[in-house]
Amino acid sequence: AQSVTQLGSHVSVSEGALVLLRCNYSSSVPPYLFWYVQYPNQGLQLLLKYTTGATLVKGINGFEAEFKKSETSFHLTKPSAHMSDAAEYFCAVKETSYDKVIFGPGTSLSVIP
Amino acid sequence: DAGVTQSPTHLIKTRGQQVTLRCSPKSGHDTVSWYQQALGQGPQFIFQYYEEEERQRGNFPDRFSGHQFPNYSSELNVNALLLGDSALYLCASSLDMGGEETQYFGPGTRLLVL
């Protein structure tokens, strides 16, 4: 069965520092992988996704993630945090074309001025 | 281009009542998925509708049912409400592209069951 683990329910970084949000998944086949961001009282917005091809995926707002099959990981990074990056971040996975999307528990990112 | 819209934005019900939530997909999208997001947790998949049929279902009881209309809009119905049904209900729409589609989420309906 698919599952998603996000290490660290809360991460704090200083403005301008590197952002690293961790995501590990379990899947029996090469999965589709996603990162979503949720701002307070809003729905989810897709940051980036991996389906096939290049394992380094670039998304919106300067975020990127690398699919590492050997480590079953899909960590999200951003070189320099901005105050506007403070939000909840969800990693998600699905195994097949029409499979349901399984979300991780989320990581709350705080950016300290 | 309007994105995914949901109504109502907030709702308060009492235990045992029934509720209907509505979702209009992004223009051009034909698939609607519903998720339940409890406070402090990630969204949990309820079910997905495509061509007016339920295509996938998560681990939710039969009290949760849905419908998709010919214009692709969708409803989520919950009967016999429990306190534990209090959550943010998210609708996501996509265009069926054999698996590589992107889901676009609405702002959600926040349901409080008293």
A40 close to B (CB below 8 A): no
Chain B residues with CB under 8 Å of a chain A CB are 4, 33, 35, 40-45, 48, 55-56, 58, 90, 92, 98-100, 102-108
- pLDDT one-digit tens code per residue, B51-74: 999 998 999 999 999 999 999 999
Q: Rounded CA gap, B23 and A97, in Å?
A: 23
Residue A40 makes CB contacts below 8 A (sequence gap 6+) with A87
Q: Is the pLDDT of residue B1 over 70?
A: no
Instruction: Give me the mean pLDDT over the B7-36 stretch.
Output: 96
Q: Rounded CA gap, A98 and B41, in Å?
A: 23
Grade residue A19 by pLDDT with cuts at 50, 70 and 90.
Answer: very high
pLDDT at residue number A3: 87
DSSP string, chain B: ----EEE-SEEEE-TT--EEEEEEPPTT--EEEEEEE-TTS--EEEEEEETTEEEEE-S--TTEEEEE-TTS-EEEEE-S--GGG-EEEEEEEE--STT-PPPEE---EEEEE-
Q: What's the mean pLDDT when you consider all of chain B?
A: 93
Grade residue A85 by pLDDT with cuts at 50, 70 and 90.
Answer: very high
Query: DSSP character for A99?
Result: P
- Residue numbers of A between 64 and 103 with CB closer than 8 Å to B: 90, 92, 96-103
Q: Identify the residue whose tokens are 């926040």.
A: B110
Instruction: Give me the mean pLDDT over the A21-40 stretch.
Output: 89
Q: Rounded CA gap, A38 and B92, in Å?
A: 14
Q: Is the pLDDT of residue B99 over 70?
A: no
